[in-house]
Structure 1
C-alpha cells in the first residue's frame, strides 16, 4: 500500500512539473508575440524610414523574428525564433510559430541584437509559408526590401520576389539579403500555444480564432495594413 501511495505521489509530482514547464513555455511564446508587436510598432514609428506603404498594402503574410544574437546562432546552430500571420478574406490570421536557420550574416559582427521582418508579397509566398520548410533564395525568390514611405525597390520585385526581407539593428532599419537561410515551421511551439496539433494551413487560412494573447500582435499588423490600403 505504501509503495502504491508513493507511486501515486510520484506521478502527481511529475504531472505537476510537466504542467509547470508547459506554463513556462507558453509564457515564453506570449512574450515572443509581444516582442514581435513591438518590432512592427518601432519599425513603423518613423514612416519615412519604415516599410513602404505600397508593400504593406500588398502583403500576403508577415513574419517577425525579434531580438536574436550572433552567439545564440553560433552555439545553437539556429538563428532565431519568430511568429507569422497571413492576410485572409476576413482579416489577418491567428499566428503560427516559425524558426530561421543557416546562412551567414554580416550584421552579426559584434553580437548585436537584430530583428528580422519578412514580407510575403503574393500567393506563392503564402504557399511557401504552408510548407514544413523552404530555403529563401532557393525554393522562394527573395529580395532586400526597400525602405521609406514612397521608396521603390531596385529590382522588379513586383514581378519576381515572393518575399521582401528586412533587418533592424541598433535603431537602423534596412533591406537585407537572407539568401541561403531556411524558414521552417515550429510545430512544437505552435502546439504548445494552441494546446493541440493544429495544421499551419488551418491557422494561416483564418480558420482558427485569434487567442487573446495573440491579439496585440495581429491587431498591430492589421492596423498598418489598413492604414496603407487607405493611403493608396
Structure 2
C-alpha cells in the first residue's frame, strides 16, 4: 500500500526494527507537545519479526505554534541494537540516537540522505500522505503496564523482543505477516 510506495525499497530491505505509533497527538499553543502510544518490533537473526513491545512517545517544543494534529508515525531503524536499548531505559530521539526525515518514494533524489547514514528514519501520515518529519527531543519509553496487560506479567522487553513470551492474539500474527511482506528482499 502507501507505506511500501512511500518508503524506498532499499531502506525497507535494510530495516532491522520498526516503531509504529498510530494517532500521535501533536498539539501546540506557544508551547507544543507530542504524545502517543505504539509498538516496537525488531527483526530476528532468522529474518522473522519479534513480538510487539508496547511503548509511549512524549516530547515538547517551543516557538510559534498553534493547533492540534493527529499523525500516524512510523520510525524505521537500520540497527536493531539502537531499538533494543529502549528496554534498558528511556531514550531521546535526536539526543541519544540520531533521527532524520526519511527519504520518500521508490527512487532516490539527489537531495535526500540516500546513503542511509542516520540510525532512524521517521515517516508520518496525515490525511493519507506519508512524508518525513522531525522528532528531535521526543523520548521513547517502554509501556510496561500495556505489555503486562497484553502478555500477562512480563520480565522485560527483551523477553518479548526475543519471542520468549509468545502471543496467541491473531492481530500479532497478521502484523508479522504484513511486515514480512513489506520487508521481503
Give the aligned partner of residue 191 of structure 1.
148
- 1:103 is the counterpart of 2:60: yes
Output aligned runs, 1:83-232, within 5 Å.
83-90=39-46, 91-104=48-61, 110-151=67-108, 154-155=112-113, 158-159=116-117, 161-212=118-169, 213-226=171-184, 229=185
Larger helix percent = 1
- 1:51 is the counterpart of 2:7: yes
Larger strand percent = 2
Q: Report how many aligned residue pairs link the two structures.
A: 178
- Name the SS of the counterpart of 1:66 in structure 2: strand
Output aligned runs, 1:48-87, within 5 Å.
50-70=6-26, 79-87=35-43
How far has the Cα of 1:79 moved from its partner? 0.5
| Counterparts of 1:130 and 1:85, CA distance in 2 | 12
How far has the Cα of 1:202 moved from its partner? 1.5
Give the aligned partner of residue 21 of structure 1.
none
Which segments of 5 or more consecutive residues in structure 2 lack a partner in the other structure?
A: none
**Residue 42 to residue 210, structure 1, CA distance change in 2 (3 Å):** farther
How far has the Cα of 1:89 moved from its partner? 2.2
Q: Tell me which structure has the larger Cα radius of gyration.
A: 1
**Residue 70 to residue 78, structure 1, CA distance change in 2 (3 Å):** closer
Q: TM-score, normalised by structure 2?
A: 0.84
